[in-house]
């Protein structure tokens, strides 16, 4: 992303989570300083900060910010409050495992230092949330480098949703190979699905790629199949919100349609995945909780007038699960996993 923009960071004084408000992009660039638990929760719930790694990083920073506000010095009272704060932030969105991953890491700091008082725990908590952030940067870089081994200069790439710097740190995951590739002289021709209903592809991916000087063309979600038939797509690149042990992958609603289309047309379908997004406690996609959001996102949110009558029912799942068999490879920071993923992911990570 443009050097001057950032997605999420800890404020210099350590007293707030600072984010760019993604609901206003691309038209308005506005940063928010979040100091209260309710504001951090709302920012994640409303997708002001979004994308699996970014909400994990925001939750980690949030736990540290809120830890400083706990009035008790005593260990047990501090632990109790931290557990309450962690459960609250974790309740903002259910599908991306990075959120609970970061909350668990922050809580583990307190659990692993029984008897320390607040003033002793705070520096450890600050170091842990910074580690979550810095590890994400390193993972995104490594994933991007690994992805470059799968493509060649000039390739046509289809993306869905936004898995760039706005969804993570620095390069992001699904867009990282494109952003890093650009820096190294690759010229890709990228087609980005607009990604109904919240338009992360239109509002965020086309913004990020355009500002990086990458050739990007915005398409309606339902145009992807035609482009594949026309031979314009050499590979599909997507991020992920939770990958089960068998490789079933939850990502933005519509991802599964892209994968089914890709399989039919013989186009490789790649999932870019930091280890913080793999949940080995989910045996398959059936164990993944899918977030359901308000029908207003479909009917009214981006329209001057409602596009359907008030009494018409809506079903608005925010994610779907792409079956492992549809995924050509899962690109991680430790290497590239291929089907069957129960074995290949375990070999890389367990
Ligand atoms: O609802 P969102 O915008 O948070 O959904 C985000 C996605 O589905 C991304 O593809 C995913 O989090 C990967 S981000 C590197």
- Choose the residue to mutate in 47, 139, 161 for probing ligand 1, maximizing ligand atoms within 8 Å of C-beta: 161
- With a 6 Å cutoff on the Cβ, whether 53 touches ligand 1 is yes
Handedness of CA 326, 332, 335, 341 (dihedral sign): negative
Tell me the C-alpha distance between 176 and 170, whole Å.
8
214-267 tens-digit pLDDT:
999 999 999 999 999 999 999 999 999 999 999 999 999 999 999 999 999 999
Look at phi and psi of residue 37 and say left if phi exceeds 0, alpha if psi is from -120 to 50, else beta.
alpha
- With a 6 Å cutoff on the Cβ, whether 60 touches ligand 1 is no
- Choose the residue to mutate in 44, 54, 163, 322 for probing ligand 1, maximizing ligand atoms within 8 Å of C-beta: 163
Q: What is the mean pLDDT of residues 340-350?
A: 97
DSSP code for 291: P
Place of tokens 């792409």: 322
Domain 8-140 sits in which CATH superfamily? Answer: translation initiation factor eif-2b, domain 1 (1.20.120.420)
Contact 199, 161 (CB under 8 A): no
Phi first, then psi, for residue 294 (nearest 5°) are: -65, 145
Q: How much distance in Å is there from the Cα of 53 to the middle of ligand 1? A: 8
Q: Place 5 in a pLDDT band, splitting at 50, 70 and 90.
A: confident
Closest ligand 1 atom to Cα of 251: 8
Residue 53 belongs to what H/E stretch? helix 52-67
Domain 141-349 sits in which CATH superfamily? Answer: Translation initiation factor eif-2b; domain 2 (3.40.50.10470)
- Choose the residue to mutate in 92, 240, 275, 319 for probing ligand 1, maximizing ligand atoms within 8 Å of C-beta: 240
Q: What is the mean pLDDT of residues 321-326?
A: 98
Closest ligand 1 atom to Cα of 200: 3
Which positions are catalytic?
241
- With a 6 Å cutoff on the Cβ, whether 201 touches ligand 1 is no
Residue 243 belongs to what H/E stretch? strand 242-244
The predicted structure's pLDDT at residue 72: 86
162-190 tens-digit pLDDT:
999 999 998 999 999 999 999 999 999 99
Q: Is residue 2 pLDDT above 80, yes or no?
A: no
Residue 322 belongs to what H/E stretch? strand 319-322
Using CA atoms, how far residue 307 sits from 120, 128, 203, 223, 302, in Å, is: 55, 46, 20, 21, 10
The predicted structure's pLDDT at residue 1: 59
Which of residues 73 and 189 earns the better pLDDT score?
189
Q: How much distance in Å is there from the Cα of 145 to the middle of ligand 1? A: 20
Q: How much distance in Å is there from the Cα of 183 to the middle of ligand 1? A: 24
Crossing angle of the two packed helices 75-90 and 97-111, in degrees rounded to 10 = 180
Beta bridge partners of 252: 319
The encoded tokens of residue 349 equal 């990570």
Q: Is residue 3 pLDDT above 60, yes or no?
A: no
140-160 tens-digit pLDDT:
999 999 999 999 999 999 999
Q: What is the mean pLDDT of residues 126-153?
A: 98
Tell me the C-alpha distance between 151 and 178, whole Å.
10
- With a 6 Å cutoff on the Cβ, whether 161 touches ligand 1 is yes
- With a 6 Å cutoff on the Cβ, whether 288 touches ligand 1 is no
Domain limits, the chain: 8-140, 141-349
């Amino acid at each position: 992303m443009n050097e001057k923009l950032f997605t999420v960071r800890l404020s210099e004084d350590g007293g707030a989570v600072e984010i760019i408000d993604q609901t206003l992009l691309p038209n308005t660039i506005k940063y928010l300083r979040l100091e209260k638990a309710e504001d951090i929760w709302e920012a994640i719930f409303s997708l002001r900060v979004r994308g699996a790694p970014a909400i994990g990083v925001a939750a980690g920073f949030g736990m540290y910010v809120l830890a400083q506000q706990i009035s008790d010095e005593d260990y047990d009272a501090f632990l109790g409050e931290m557990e309450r704060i962690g459960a609250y932030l974790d309740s903002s969105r259910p599908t991306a495992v990075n959120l609970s991953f970061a909350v668990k890491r922050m809580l583990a700091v307190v659990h692993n230092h029984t008897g320390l008082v607040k003033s002793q725990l705070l520096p450890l908590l600050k170091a842990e949330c910074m580690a979550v952030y810095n590890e994400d940067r390193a993972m995104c870089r490594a994933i991007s480098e690994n992805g470059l081994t799968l493509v060649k200069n000039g390739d046509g790439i289809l993306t869905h949703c936004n898995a760039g710097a706005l969804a993570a740190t620095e390069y992001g995951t699904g867009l990282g190979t494109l952003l890093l590739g650009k820096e190294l002289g690759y010229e890709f021709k990228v087609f980005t699905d607009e990604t109904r209903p919240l338009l992360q592809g239109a509002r965020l991916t086309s913004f990020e790629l355009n500002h990086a000087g990458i050739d990007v063309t915005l398409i309606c979600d339902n145009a992807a199949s035609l482009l594949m038939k026309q031979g314009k797509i050499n590979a599909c690149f997507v991020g992920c919100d939770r990958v089960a042990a068998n490789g079933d992958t939850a990502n933005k609603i519509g991802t599964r349609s892209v994968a089914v289309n890709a399989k039919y047309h013989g186009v490789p379908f790649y999932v870019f995945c930091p280890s913080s997004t793999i949940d080995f406690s989910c045996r398959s996609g059936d164990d993944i909780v899918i977030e359901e959001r308000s029908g207003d996102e479909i009917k009214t949110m981006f329209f001057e007038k409602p596009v359907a009558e008030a009494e018409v029912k809506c079903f608005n799942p925010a994610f779907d699960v792409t079956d492992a068999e549809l995924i050509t490879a899962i690109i991680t920071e430790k290497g590239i996993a291929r089907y069957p993923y129960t074995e290949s992911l375990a070999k890389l990570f367990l």
